[in-house]
Structure 1
Amino acid sequence: MQDSIGIPACFSSALKSSDDHTTVTRSGQSLHMSVYRTKIADQCRLITITWCKNLMLHGLSVSVEGPEGEAQYSCKVELKPWYFWRKQGSKRLTLHGNNKAVDIFWDLKAAKFKGETEPTSEYYVAVVCDQEVVLLIGDLKKEAYRRTGCRPALIDPILVWKKEHMFGKRKFSTRAKFHEKGRCHEISIECKNKSNIGGDSASGVHVEVQPEMEIRFDGHVVIHVKHLQWKFRGNESIHLNKMRVEVYWDVHDWLFSPGLKHALFIFKPVLSSLSMSSSHSLSSSSPPLSSSSTPLSTQTGSSGSLEGFSVTESSEFCLFLYAWKID
């Protein structure tokens, strides 16, 4: 049986373009978008899972790429408190060209969000085609296989990239896994002002305020940028066990543009055979980008490419974090 689907307002226009920052700003919504590549109906396709949250509602959207990548078939779910019956359901999509059926199942009745946009536990979202579960997210995997009555796909889906829009004053936090068999890391970014007291007997005492930025992994500071007004664009490398992660940042608009503006952070894992004594040690960083270089926001396309950066031996996954600073 298929439940009817409510369409959250935040999806009505925001998902027409994943880079429509104006829509995100106007609605004040947090947006978490994950894109997976897998095989559906004998073709390699992308599946996009999007979680949306603002003051009015909480929503989920599942989109399947068309045969040539030009069209998408979507399932959208409202999670408003008074729509309890919609927190579990299914919907069937029919792919044009081969008339293949794709079934989407979800169970969010007991989902734990812990104040976040994306659930942390007690849920599942499953995409089924040809009696195979081609994509399954969430921790209730046994329940998902039992409800769908289908077997796991022979080919595991690959998480290609993840994009998040979030709002905050000084601190922004998220969770990310950079390897399928790796652990989930807690990432936090904090921008703060450091006061320096100077002066002499002639000129008197004056206080100089200088912005700084700290990036932490699992509570440990891995990047500390002093004099952020001069280093508002840059990149450094950190090591997590045997994996190197390139971190890029562009916080120009935080410092120099009036109104609500976003900073962009990119986390790109790079394969490495180095054995690190500490799982959160800071490597010798790459040469910082010039402050006059092209902003990351204009170099990063929706496909997850990093134009202008020479990133080699990188894995396919990339995390894009848009941090909107509220004064």
Structure 2
Amino acid sequence: MSLKAIFPVPIIQGPMAGGANTPAMVAAVSNAGGLGSFGISMISLETIRAQVAETRRLTSRPFMLNCFVQGIPSPSQQEVERGVGLLRPIWSSLGWPDLPKPVKWCEDFAAQFELLLELKPAVASFTFDILSAAQVKRLHDVGMLVIGTVTNVEEALAWQAAGADAVVASGVESGGHRGTFIGPQTAATLEAIPLLLAVMQAVKIPVISAGNIMTGAEIRERLALGAIAVQMGTAFLVTEESGIPVAYKERLLAAQGNPTRLTRAISGRYARGIENRFMCQMAGVEAEVPAYPIQNALTGSIRAEAAKRGDAELMSLWAGTGVAKSRAMPTAKLMEILISEINHS
């Protein structure tokens, strides 16, 4: 089955790890003809099972699960202590005598991959690295379509060679983490439209465009350029069904112009978000913090405490460059408006 047959409306709701995606959001997108999706990388196997079951209760339509392709790191005590020391200005501002040690560095991708094979969503997508051809075949053998996330042409060619059914060409304007896995993250600077055009010229598989897409007119533009669909994350963050904290949502809705920039200070991997005190205070040392997922785990307790206190200055306010065009409403209504804009704007 082709991607177009799975979701007739060419909108993929971006998978966002960390709780933004909810079964109600994912189901609403799929019920409207788009492809709802879950970022499952940061949640336990039990939670993934429960959320998939709830989504299937709310929709009979296909949806997608997204994983970070990653190993479990084994940092030295010295590396961890250095990371904790670099974060001292942040955690000490919370009144803490020390930074709580993470229970684990990340979820087990190998276990998540096996769970994917068991749950059999219509589509599985991957970011941060690439699957082997053998892994792609295992997903195909149980009926799943496979989408890779790319930030440059070399990555798109690699995913095509591995057997992917499509790639998401994620421009530098995209909110959240960069998916770069070939070459330095700092070199993946192509904006969404030049990246889309370059990737389409290089590969034979379908290409999905991501980055700075908030309206139906912008969707139509990408489709006219040759994208099979678009992937939109930021637009769905302010919907009623979004699982992000209220303070985060309020910052998104108050945004003017483009208040976002890339930082690796919060997670150890470059990600785009609204600039806040966390990003500013760490700017001088962000090149020195441990790589993802170590830094992400170290800052987890800080971000959880910030969410509890409603303090957006110490959260990760991931958002794309189009954030000022955010529209707060139920997900179903946003889909209705986007579809109308695609057809009439």
What's the TM-score once normalised by structure 2's chain length?
0.28
Greater RCO (CA < 8 Å, at least 6 residues apart): 2
What's the TM-score once normalised by structure 1's chain length?
0.29
Q: Which has the higher helix share?
A: 2
Larger-Rg structure: 1
